[in-house]
Amino acid sequence: MHIQIVGLHAPHAPRLRALLGPGHEVEALQAFPEAGAIAADVVIANSVSDSEAARLRCRLLQVPGAGSEQIAMQSLPAGTTVCNVHGHEVPIAEFVLHAILEHSLRLWQYPQTLDADAWAQAYAQRAPHDEAHGKTVAILGFGHIGQEIARRARAFGMHVIAVTRSGRQAPALAEPLAHEFVAVSALDEVLPRAQVLVVCCPLDDSTRGLIGARQLALLPAQALLVNVARAEVVDEPALYEALRDGRLGRAVLDVWYQYPKKGQPPVAPSRWPLHALPNVRATPHISAITPALLERRYRFMADNIARLRQGEPLRNVIHTAR
């Protein structure tokens, strides 16, 4: 089997080699060649342009993450199967719960270094903080990530509202993970109750800009917004203005409106100075990046490669080009 890992994931080629047995050639490429056929049994890449897709000659295009919006599906040659991989729901749920607890605890209101004077003053004041317990969290999108957030939020005594396309829980789930399931068409009814709004739905035509100025205004005062999906689900200037004016309490943003591109000058993560507001925690798209995640994902991808080799059904097929 000939496997090419192209782009961001190229440095992980040794990890994949260690997981695959003999009889596999794993090739690491910084980028796709600029012309000519791209021939391998398996190509691992999270970004494939139209021109690159048209030149692919592989049986399996394995996306090394969950999101496939940078894959030009429509240009893939017939017969190419595209798979993605999950496992990121564990660290992302931890990131989101950390954001919720940080918002409640407000540790920044206490002295950063407890010298004698700061200690005396802080102990006399005993400034209160808040609790997550009893608060309502609305989870927009209830796939792998939303469900793992719900499991953890419930353990904290939070009231969990899942906002989904259908307004119903996926029938495969035995136990109800949310206290309420609401269709996205009734989002306006949910927002005024959501002290925390977590955005973790896919980006598509129905979700782009779904959270705009009107929706942000419906949230209660001092609400927390956490976005671990794609930035564009939340309208960029509306988010900036709501935070700047203090109508929205705080935002923890791990996903952005502008990304660095190779060979181009650096860009700010937002066209508005969103990332520099004091009530924004701006992280560089790292919520899922853990060694344990890579272990889980590469084990999954090695298993998919073994399935391809043995003619068994692939897992996580998200597209088959015709």
Of the residues 17, 98, 144, 244, which one makes contact with a second copy according to CB under 8 A: 98
DSSP β-bridge partners for residue 181: 162
Closest by CA to 224, choosing from 143, 305, 147, 281, is 281
Whose tokens are 């996926």? That residue is 170
Q: Does 2 bind a second copy (CB under 8 A)?
A: no
Q: Indicate which single residue of 102, 180, 236, 241 sits in contact with a second copy (rule: CB under 8 A).
A: 102
Q: Which range touches a second copy (CB under 8 A), out of 153-161, 198-206, 297-305, 308-316?
A: 153-161
Q: Which of 291, 297, 294, 267 is nearest to 84 (CA)?
A: 297
Q: Could you give the CA distance from residue 179 to residue 215 in angstroms, rounded to a whole number?
A: 22
Minimum CB distance to a second copy smaller for 18 or for 292: 292
Integer Cα distance of 88 and 292 in angstroms: 9
Is 260 a residue that touches a second copy (CB under 8 A)?
yes
CB of 6 to a second copy, least distance (A): 16
- 55 touches 76 (CB < 8 A): no
The count of other CB atoms within 10 Å of the CB of residue 145 is 26
Q: Can residue 13 be called a binding residue for a second copy (CB under 8 A)? A: no
Q: Are 281 and 252 in contact (CB under 8 A)?
A: yes
CB-based burial, 192-203: b 16+ in 10 Å, e otherwise = ebbbbbbbbbeb
Interface size with a second copy, residues (CB under 8 A): 62
**Which H or E run includes 304?**
helix 291-310
- Bridge-based pairing of strands 159-164 and 180-183 is parallel
Give min distance, CB of 61 to a second copy, in A. Answer: 22
Select the residue interacting with a second copy from 179, 247, 281, 299 (CB under 8 A).
Answer: 281
Nearer to a second copy, 265 or 313 (CB): 265
Binding of a second copy at residue 101 (CB under 8 A)? yes
Least separation in angstroms between CB 3 and a second copy: 22
Q: By CB under 8 A, is residue 247 in contact with a second copy?
A: no
Distance between CA 148 and CA 165 in Å, rounded? Answer: 18
Counting contacts by CB under 8 A, is residue 114 touching a second copy?
Answer: yes
CB of 154 to a second copy, least distance (A): 7
Q: Which of 184, 203, 294, 306 binds a second copy (CB under 8 A)?
A: 294
Q: Which residues bind a second copy (CB under 8 A)?
A: 8, 90-91, 94-95, 97-98, 101-102, 104-105, 107, 110-111, 113-120, 122-124, 126-134, 151-152, 154-157, 256, 259-260, 265-269, 275-276, 281-286, 289-294
